[in-house]
Amino acid sequence: MDIRLNGTLSGMVAPPPSKSQAHRLLICAALGTKPCSIVCSALNDDLVATANSLNALGANIKYANGKFTVVPIQLVKGATLNCSESGSTLRFLLSIAAVLGADATFVGAGKLPQRPNGALCDTLAEHGITFKKHSDNAELPLTCNGVLQGGIYKLPGNISSQYLTGLLFALPLAKEDSVIEVVGGLTSASYISMTLDALQKANISVSREGNIFRIPGNQKYSLPDALVVEGDWSSAAFWIVAGVVGKHPITITGMNRNSLQGDRKIINHLRKMGAFIEEQENALVAMPSQLFGAELDCMDTPDLLPILSVAAAAANGDTLFTNVGRLRFKESDRLVAMQTTLASFGVASQVGEDTFTVHGGTALSAGDVDGFGDHRIAMSAAILSTLCNDVSTIKGAECVAKSYPCFYDDFTSLGGVKY
Question: What are the catalytic residues?
Answer: 303
As to burial, measured by CB atoms within 10 angstroms (0-12 exposed, 13-18 middle, 19+ buried), residue 67 is middle
Contacts of 222 (CB under 8 A, 6+ apart): 32, 33, 34, 202, 203
Among residues 415, 403, 416, the alpha carbon closest in space to that of 18 is found at 403
Q: Which CA distances in Å does 363 have to 58, 315, 348, 356?
A: 55, 11, 11, 20
Element holding 153 (H helix, E strand): strand 151-156
In 3D space, the residue among 234, 238, 298 whose CA is nearest the CA of residue 269 turns out to be: 298
Question: How many of the other CB atoms lie within 10 Å of CB of 116?
Answer: 13
Find out whether 60 and 85 touch, Cβ atoms under 8 Å: no
CA distances to 17, 134, 248, 305, 322 from 84, in Å? 20, 17, 38, 23, 30
Q: Is 105 helix (H, G, I), strand (E, B) or coil?
A: strand
The residues near 2 (Cβ < 8 Å, ≥ 6 apart) are: 393, 394, 395, 396, 397
Kind and range of the H or E element at 393? strand 392-395
Handedness of CA 143, 146, 147, 149 (dihedral sign): negative
Residue 151 gets the label, from left (phi > 0), alpha (psi -120 to 50) or beta, of: left
Nearest to 397 by CA among 415, 417, 377: 377
CA 165 to CA 160: how far, in whole Å?
Answer: 9
Nearest alpha-carbon partner for 89 in 142, 134, 144, 26: 26
Cα 225 off chain centre by: 26
